[in-house]
Amino acid sequence: MATYQELLAQKQALEAQIEEARASELASVIEQIRELMMRYELSQDDIAHRRRRPAAVASASAEKRPLPPKYMDPKTGKTWSGRGRTPTWLGKRPERFLISQE
């Protein structure tokens, strides 16, 4: 089994190899990025501004208004819009509790 000092030396050697590999690959990666930017006529501003969410996603999460009620319990005055869990007071004939749409 390797000693602590040997393992530290191996770690330092690996870190040096990692840094060397990164430095050698970095130049080709930067060149690829430059080629893509030229091909698609992108500027640094284009790339910086693309990090925001698209407008379609932002508008989908806009504030939702509650739906108007479709059913009302005449005894308690409770209402239900027709969405979500069905209230027990509706029973088997919900048409009895429909609110007239005038």
Tens-place pLDDT, residues 32-69: 999 999 999 988 888 877 655 555 555 555 678 888 99
- Rounded to 5 degrees, what angle do the CA atoms 36, 41, 46 make? 95
Residue 40 domain boundaries: 4-60
Q: Are residues 56 and 69 in the same domain?
A: no
Structure confidence at residue 18 (pLDDT): 96
Q: Are residues 48 and 82 in the same domain?
A: no
Q: Are residues 8 and 53 in the same domain?
A: yes
Q: Are residues 13 and 54 in the same domain?
A: yes
How far is residue 64's CA from residue 29's CA, in Å, rounded to a whole number?
45
Q: How many folded domains does the chain comprise?
A: 2
Q: Are residues 53 and 26 in the same domain?
A: yes
Q: In whole angstroms, how far apart are CA 42 and each of 14, 33, 47, 53, 54? A: 37, 10, 7, 18, 18
pTM of the entire structure?
0.39
Q: Are residues 18 and 36 in the same domain?
A: yes
- The count of other CB atoms within 10 Å of the CB of residue 63 is 4
